[in-house]
Structure 1
Amino acid sequence: MKINSFLLILLFILMSSVTSSSQAKEKAKHVIFIGLDGWGAYSVPKADMPVVKQMMADGCYTLKKRTALPSSSAINWASMFMGAGPELHGYTQWGSRTPELPSRVVNEHGIFPTIFQLLRDARPEAEIGCLYEWDGIKYLVDTLALNHHALSPDYTEKPEVLCRMAESYIKEKKPTLLAVCFDNPDHVGHGAGHDTPAYYAKLKELDTYIGRIVSAVEEAGMLKQTIFIITSDHGGINKGHGGITMQEMETPFIIFGKNIKSGGEFSESMMQYDVASTIASIFGLKQPQVWIGRPMKQVFK
């Protein structure tokens, strides 16, 4: 009888340990990824972005995340979503819609594995979305793995539309993973130029949209179970990008929310493809062997 009781207690301890281990793998139930195209890290100290800077103070960040080369859009959005660089995923040009190099591996949808597909495979019931202002994003996210994706129309004339789309989607669907990709400040960088009054005015405006998205998450009852990531594909210099200056190469990465330390700036090296790995780590997902990204484990409690 004593032996049976001992075995039952041991079994209970083992089951509790497995359950605790499983629960520990997931660091949050929701991730809201917000990308600002063309946002150079050089601009952050000067920028009037109180929402973002509060996230930096309450969470963790680096202003030293480096782009993959060349420092242009499709290459780097792909790298952030695909956990690898252009040498492996094959997207090598500013506006790549299909790989110029054969992708080293493709999934059942015929595209290099993305964080969206990884989450979909692990959790078929998950609500996964992507909203964007630049049409090129849809070629890089594996739309077949998404529940919803949509292009914001006429954003140069109606800059608030993408924000409103994100607010509505969050409140209605409470997504597990949502990527919201703004095409600015890149558009202003190519027009008025980087590091100009117009560029900083756009950053201030975008900060208000980020604040509204956070408020939408709170209204949806998700805030206490959400991690926010705010980042960029590349920076810029004068009226362009694609080169190897640090103004083009260094981008901000800010992470804030559930189970994120109030650690401020971290010193560890970070690349674009580490973003996908970090999101995978949040959801407790095993990344594909072809990915080369590393999760930023130091930011988690």
Structure 2
Amino acid sequence: MPRLFSFAAFTLLFFVVTSLSAEEKSKHVLLLGIDGCRFDAQTKAKTPNLDKLRENGSYSPTALILGDRYKKNDTISGPGWGSINTGVWADKHNVQGNSFKEPKFDKYPHFFHYVKKSLPTAKTVSIINWSPIAQYIVSAADVSIDTQKGSSYTEADDEAAAAAVKQLSEQDAPTAMMLYFGEVDVAGHGHGFHPAVPQYIAAIEHVDALVGNVMEAIEKRTDEDWLIVVTSDHGGFGKGHSSGHTNPDILHSFLIVSGEAAKKGQFEQQVYIVDAVPTLLTFLGVDIDQAWELDGHAVGLK
């Protein structure tokens, strides 16, 4: 009897300790942006790493880059990344094109602002290679890296991925990280935004390999719970995407919410690029204040 009791007690203790260890995992988020990436081209390309993220979470092939309330901004990078990083549409952050004439990021800031407000000791890291994001949108970043230095976007993406891996190899990992890749959009402008364009597919496959490097670095951090959200600022048609207000090839981005905390399968409801920020904040345990006037909603979480 004593032996049976001891074994039962040991078993109970093991499960309690295991459960507590799982609950004590620190939470971290990665917002991964792939500029100008069409979902139909992504699924045609060989993208084992993006496929794995999609299989390990919720996804939509038709996330909209414009909302129901406001559709006047151009369908280009400025408004797109403004909306993705703030969780509000362009009538609020006021980036209507790529000129950033009178942005209102003081009132509708980058999501790092809310992370730091709720979690003052959080480490926030932005790694991009389209300079206007760093110049105008990013705020409250403990580390801000811009790899656009006149080199090709392929090299800039390589450098961005390497910088992300370096950050993830440090003992103090980012609580929130935004990582941007730009070469897919450049390939689209140069050769065409379409699954039948070899150069466009090659750019997607190269970025997927870089995503693999980053995911490998995250997977080594076994004592942490990561949520990865992947999206794009727009699609493309021909060699452009401006004035695409009625063209689904441009209006449709994609959204992937991946990690242990994510539901599995394709979204049943319509989702939007502004849903990225509230999803990330909700996972981190940040209470979303109505005064922030976020247009998006948390999606894809269990």
Q: Residues 33 and 98 of structure 1: is their aligned pair in 2 closer, same or farther, counting only changes over 3 Å?
A: same
Q: Which amino acid aligns with 1:278?
A: T
1:179 equivalent to 2:178? Answer yes
Equivalents in 1 of 2:262, 2:276: separation in Å? 15
1:282 equivalent to 2:277? Answer no
Percent identity over the alignment is: 24
Q: Which amino acid aligns with 1:156?
A: Y
The equivalent of 2:190 in structure 1 is: 191
**1:64-143, aligned counterparts within 5 Å?**
64-68=62-66, 69-96=73-100, 98-99=102-103, 103=104, 110-143=106-139
Q: Which runs of 4+ in 1 moved over 6 A?
A: none
Query: Pick from 28, 31, 34: which aligns with 1:33?
Result: 31
Equivalents in 2 of 1:111, 1:183: separation in Å? 27
Q: Residues 126 and 32 of structure 1: is their aligned pair in 2 closer, same or farther, counting only changes over 3 Å?
A: same
Q: Tell me if structure 1 keeps the 8 A contact 2:188–2:200.
A: yes
Q: CA deviation at 1:34?
A: 1.0
Q: CA deviation at 1:114?
A: 2.6
Equivalents in 2 of 1:150, 1:78: separation in Å? 18
The equivalent of 1:11 in structure 2 is: none
Equivalents in 1 of 2:100, 2:38: separation in Å? 21
Equivalents in 2 of 1:64, 1:85: separation in Å? 17
**1:50-65, aligned counterparts within 5 Å?**
50-65=48-63
Q: Residues 27 and 220 of structure 1: is their aligned pair in 2 closer, same or farther, counting only changes over 3 Å?
A: closer
Q: CA deviation at 1:260?
A: 1.4
Q: Tell me if structure 2 keeps the 8 A contact 1:97–1:136.
A: no
SS of equivalent to 1:117: helix
Query: Pick from 34, 42, 45: which aligns with 2:43?
Result: 45
Q: Which amino acid aligns with 1:72?
A: I
**1:237-276, aligned counterparts within 5 Å?**
237-242=237-242, 243-244=244-245, 245-261=247-263, 263-276=264-277
Q: Residues 155 and 125 of structure 1: is their aligned pair in 2 closer, same or farther, counting only changes over 3 Å?
A: farther
Q: CA deviation at 1:184?
A: 2.2
Equivalents in 2 of 1:134, 1:206: separation in Å? 15
Q: Deviations over 1:169-220 (max 9, x none)?
A: 1112410000001112111111111111100011111111001001111234
Q: Deviations over 1:249-270 (max 9, x none)?
A: 1111112113112x22112111
Q: Deviations over 1:198-246 (max 9, x none)?
A: 0001111111100100111123445x51111111111111100021211
Equivalents in 2 of 1:168, 1:281: separation in Å? 26
SS of equivalent to 1:160: helix
The equivalent of 2:5 in structure 1 is: none
Q: Residues 27 and 259 of structure 1: is their aligned pair in 2 closer, same or farther, counting only changes over 3 Å?
A: farther
The equivalent of 1:151 in structure 2 is: 146
Q: Tell me if structure 1 keeps the 8 A contact 2:231–2:273.
A: no
The equivalent of 1:12 in structure 2 is: none
Equivalents in 1 of 2:45, 2:154: separation in Å? 23
Q: Residues 155 and 218 of structure 1: is their aligned pair in 2 closer, same or farther, counting only changes over 3 Å?
A: farther
Q: Output the aligned Cα RMSD.
A: 2.3
- Unaligned 5+ segments in structure 1 are 1-19
Equivalents in 1 of 2:133, 2:34: separation in Å? 12
Q: Which amino acid aligns with 2:199?
A: A
TM-score, normalised relative to structure 2: 0.82
Equivalents in 2 of 1:41, 1:184: separation in Å? 15
Q: CA deviation at 1:167?
A: 0.5
Equivalents in 1 of 2:301, 2:249: separation in Å? 28
SS of equivalent to 1:185: helix
Moved more, 150-159 or 193-202: 150-159
1:292 equivalent to 2:295? Answer yes
Q: Residues 155 and 127 of structure 1: is their aligned pair in 2 closer, same or farther, counting only changes over 3 Å?
A: farther
Q: Tell me if structure 2 keeps the 8 A contact 1:27–1:282.
A: no
The equivalent of 1:232 in structure 2 is: 232
Q: CA deviation at 1:27?
A: 9.8
Q: Deviations over 1:52-90 (max 9, x none)?
A: 112212211011101124221110111111111011111
SS of equivalent to 1:191: helix
TM-score, normalised relative to structure 1: 0.82
Q: CA deviation at 1:300?
A: 2.0
Q: Deviations over 1:90-129 (max 9, x none)?
A: 1111342642xxx4xx6xxx35233110001111110001
The equivalent of 2:4 in structure 1 is: none
User: What number of residue pairs does the alignment pair up?
Assistant: 266
